[in-house]
Structure 1
Amino acid sequence: MNLMAQPLVPRDSVYQLQTGREIRLLALGLAANGAALLIGQGQSGLTEAQIAQLDPQSINAFDRGATRNWSPKAARLSDLTLLGTVGVVGLTGLPTLRQKKWFTVPLLYAQTMLLTLGTVDIVKEVALRNRPFVYHAAAPLSEKMDRDARRAFFSGHASVSFASAVFASTVFGHYFPVSKLKPVVWVGSLGLATTTALLRYEAGKHFPTDLLVGAAVGSAAGWLVPRLHRPRAGSKAYSMRVTPWTNGVANGVYVQVALP
């Protein structure tokens, strides 16, 4: 059977936009990214003396194998597969541009990316976990001493890839619920995201735990943002409250999301 025999005609009223909610989501994402930049001010890389004292045996057994990996080629390939997952979002969302509210999918994806990247960067700047290649003898000293070598946890590539894959597959399923292409989108996009994560491991950029957490956080964001915008008959089902807080020592933002 030809999967493309039926034209892709998107459903109407799949997502419900609310100006206040959209502004809050965008503002929260921008604030998270801004906070990451502020936290990262003044952070420095490892010194040569610190690198010389590193011991792979200090890494937990589950992650330790990553310290034997170093591959610039795999790192470059991971950038390409990452772009591939982003490209899937564009391809699956393209038919929705025919609608009156053509900006809905781009807006939801922008929110997803801002929230994902903001979360990733804040945690990276706080955790300051060394990348696996820092323990590898063949890796150049200049790269080991670079500030980015201390930003392993958790994986931005895995987060963005899985956020894009789950977002594209979820949105495609909502707009085209009877399409026979849904399994193709899910398998293809998640396959690209998984390949990206494996390449980051092979490159010596991340430990398995970095990749697993990145995949979980990205998948959650890719699923939550579209779901948050799904209408529910007879009820304002989806709501979000964002409240700043402080305890005199630390500051933060409390986010409460109500789902059906």
Structure 2
Amino acid sequence: MTAQNERGPYYLSLKREIIYSGSGLVGTVGAFFLHERIPSITASEAKQPNLTGFDKMGLGYNSSTAKNLSDQTLFTALGLPVLLLAGKESRRDISTIGFLYIETMLINQGITDLVKVAALRPRPYIFEENFPSTQILNSNDRSSFFSGHTSSTATASFFVARVFADYYPQSKLKPYVWGMAAALPALTGYLRIRAGRHYPSDVLVGYLVGGAVGYLVPTLHKIQPKRKNLSIAPGMGGLYLNYDF
């Protein structure tokens, strides 16, 4: 028996979900412990990365208003899957969609956190003239590449757009849903630049990675896995393990 909601387009497989979710969890937890081992330095010891003309456009900003607005756009994106409850077809398959959403966000978080630890790129605001040279920098001050706000927003918005398109392929709302999916992370990325938290390349890569994860994870779950005795099946109130004798 394969793990598929009888009404929905997605298949769940115990082996596949362990691999996908496990990789995201390992990446996230591993990056957390690596972050804890990053030594603190002063702002004067931070070396400004070699910037292209493209990234130089990210210098000179440090807006607290833009930072707060970027938090709001992120939280808005994270709540978008709730809108899928408005549709009958997606609402009755919400346990599967919810599981896939958590899995998708976990994968993106793992990738984002590991890259940040590997890159250790100082944020643009560190190089502002009024930033104290004696200021101690923690790991977050050196987490510019790539933008987690942008990647998370893109993951959530593209996931919702992909799921909506799969459940309602004939809907006239599809262009607007895809437009929202493209615009919301772009706005978030712009605000992160204005906040002095990221260079343009940080938000561009975050947009591409997050969008790819949000689109591909549900798409890959449309592929029916090989038949296995042990499977995951959605049901009323949650997900259940099934074993066929």
**TM-score between the two structures when normalised by the length of structure 1:** 0.77
In structure 2, the CA distance between the partners of 1:140 and 1:180, relative to structure 1 (3 Å rule), is: farther
Residue by residue, what CA displacement relative to the aligned partner does 1:206-249 show, whole Å, maximum 9, x if unpaired?
011111111111011011110111045xx849xxxxxxxxxxxx
Q: Is 1:25–2:17 an aligned residue pair? A: no
- 1:42 maps onto 2:34 in alignment: no
Equivalent AA in structure 2 for residue 111 of structure 1: E
Structure 2 counterpart of 1:216, which letter? L
Label 1:86 to 1:93 Cα distance change in 2 as closer, same or farther (>3 A): farther
Render the CA deviation track for 1:126-168: whole Å, top value 9, x for unaligned. Answer: 1100011111124466877343110000110110111111111
Q: Give the C-alpha shift of residue 193 in structure 1.
A: 1.4
Whose relative contact order is higher, 1 or 2, with alpha carbons under 8 Å and at least 6 apart?
2
After superposition, residues 64-75 of structure 1 pair within 5 angstroms as: 64-75=56-67
Matches of 1:73 and 1:138 in 2, distance apart? 18
Q: CA RMSD in A?
A: 2.4
- Identity value in percent: 36
The answer as to 2:119 corresponding to 1:124 is: no
* Mapped contact 1:66–1:132 kept (Cα < 8 A): yes
CA 1:183–1:141 in 2, change beyond 3 Å: closer, same or farther?
farther
User: How many residues are matched?
Assistant: 221
Unaligned runs of 5+ in 1: 1-10, 238-260
Q: What is residue 102 of structure 1 aligned with on the other side?
A: 94
Tell me: CA distance 1:138–1:180, structure 2 relative to 1, closer, same or farther (3 Å).
Answer: farther
CA change 1:48–1:169 in 2 (3 A) is closer
Hey, what's the Cα distance between the residues in 2 that align with 1:36 and 1:226?
25
Which whole-Å CA distance do the structure 1 matches of 2:114 and 2:48 have between them? 26
Match of 1:155 among 140, 147, 151: 147
For 1:204, the equivalent position in structure 2 comes to 196
1:89·1:168 contact (CA, 8 Å) conserved in 2? yes
| Counterpart code for 1:192 | L
